[in-house]
Amino acid sequence: MVPHFPGANPRKRGSIKRDDSIGATVVPDGRFLRRRLGGPPGRQTVIAACCVVLSLSAGVLAAVPAAQADPPDPAAKKKQLDSQIQTQRGELNEASDQLAKSVAAYSQAEAQYQAVQVKYAAAQGKLAAAKAADLVAASKLKAAELALQTAMDEVTAGEQLLDAKKAVAGRAVRSAYQQQNSLVGLSIVLRGASPADLATGMQVQRNVFGIQGNAITNLNNAQAQLANKRVKVQAAEQAVAAQRAEAARTVKEVTALTLQVAADKAEAAKVAATRLTAQQAAEKEKNTELAQYNALVSERTRVEQILIARARAEKAAAARRKAAREAAERAKAKKEHRPPRNIPDDPGSSSGLSFPIDTYITSPYGMRFHPILHVWKLHDGTDFGAGCGTPIHAAASGVVTDRYYNGGYGNRLFLSNGVMRGSSITTVYNHLSRYKVRVGQHVSKGQVIGYVGTTGYSTGCHLHFMVYQDGRVVNPMKWL
């Protein structure tokens, strides 16, 4: 008797892990993938990537001794089984959803971090320029104030000089006024001065008048110079006022930009902390997912060994049955004195498979690249799109060897189709909403064996159809 898979035994269903794909080679990237693909992906892209990975999983099977009895009716422990199914489904969905959320949160935080870094750098540049302008304005203001002070000092000195010249001129004017009469020359004559004395007196008078004229001229020059200096003071005062206004503007700008830089720096620190938290969470989820994936790959290898052993046993049994029929035919032919007839293979073993659903293909068999785990994974079957409840037909005649729920594949049904074209073939139907046949039942090609569903990790109603050839998963289309 062909041993059953562990999923068919309710006592072992609690230990079944998530499924993984068949035939994929793990190439883990220890670093976190930052998605430098021209822009951070959106949430739907990440969730779709996770769905691809988890929907490509193969069943976890365990070796059971060939002598094991048929499993008990699953309905006997339905309540316990349903609880285990819900727990496994919840854990799987939570892990996958959390991975998608963590990656999306990190992408958003990374974009915000880059934006705030640019904003912070721009504010720092503006602040540096404003500080440089402030230094220039302060230097100009200092020079203007120095020029103003110099002009004011010159005005003060000019005023003092003007006052002195005014005093000199005043004395000269008074002297001239006192001496401006016709008796001056007469007084000199009447004194009985000699002609020499008279000449000297006239010279003195001319000298006095010359001094008075110089005093008046110097006074006028001093007044003109003072007026010029006062004009310079006025211009210097205007320059100082303008420079003070410019300096005040630059100080105000520097103050505002300093506050802006401080705010941007605080925002950058906050975003950096959020980014780090998101990165750590995404890295943790990614590592967890990768560890689970690696564990499932190891389990897949063990499953293949089981199926390969089963295929060998099945082909050997078919060969023995054919050999027995050939021996019987030879004995009969000898008894009847005729040549022995050709003995065919087991009935139905030479035909191929038929489509389990007459509908369109939504996803073919082949390799897929996981953008988060950064590994290549195998989509180990062909997906047929169909509404939930659509009948599923047996692709070939055979015996139902197993049916059970798996977190990745949902409700699964295994149908051993015997030896076909020299190979042991097993067809597997996944994500079923419910079963139509039981374990151990023989079904005919085209018979309804179940109904389309979206159980397990599935984004919509469809059938994930798989074919195992001699224990290894192959492209179903080569048999359809």
* Mean pLDDT on 100-110: 78
- C-beta separation of 32 from 279 below 8 A: yes
List all residues 6 or more positions away from 230 whose beta carbon is below 8 Å from its beta carbon: 155
Query: 3-state SS of 3-29?
Result: CCCHHHCCCCHHHCCCCECCCCCCCCC
Q: How far apart are CA 410 and CA 433, in angstroms?
A: 9
Percent of the chain with pLDDT over 70: 66
Which architecture characterizes domain 348-480 according to CATH? Answer: Distorted Sandwich (2.70)
- C-beta separation of 338 from 329 below 8 A: no
- Containing 410, the helix (H) or strand (E) segment is strand 410-420
pLDDT tens-place string over residues 256-265: 888 888 888 8
- C-beta separation of 268 from 120 below 8 A: yes
What pairs with residue 372 in β-bridges?
A: none
Q: How confident is the model at residue 379 (pLDDT cuts 50, 70, 90)?
A: confident
The most confident of 32-46, 101-115, 161-175, 280-294, by mean pLDDT: 101-115
> What are the two backbone dihedrals, phi and then psi, of residue 63, each rounded to the nearest 5 degrees?
-70, 135
Q: Does pTM top 0.85 for this prediction? A: no
What does 101-127 look like in DSSP terms, one character per residue? HHHHHHHHHHHHHHHHHHHHHHHHHHH
Q: How far apart are CA 420 and CA 3, in angstroms?
A: 20
Q: How confident is the model at residue 253 (pLDDT cuts 50, 70, 90)?
A: confident
Task: For CATH 2.70.70.10, list the domain ranges present in the chain.
Answer: 348-480
Residue in 478, 77, 468 with CA at minimum distance from that of residue 311: 468
List all residues 6 or more positions away from 2 whose beta carbon is below 8 Å from its beta carbon: 66, 310, 313, 314, 399, 401, 416
CATH class of segment(s) 32-48+76-308? mainly alpha
pLDDT tens-place string over residues 307-342: 788 889 888 888 898 899 999 999 999 999 999 999
Task: For CATH 1.10.287.620, list the domain ranges present in the chain.
Answer: 32-48+76-308
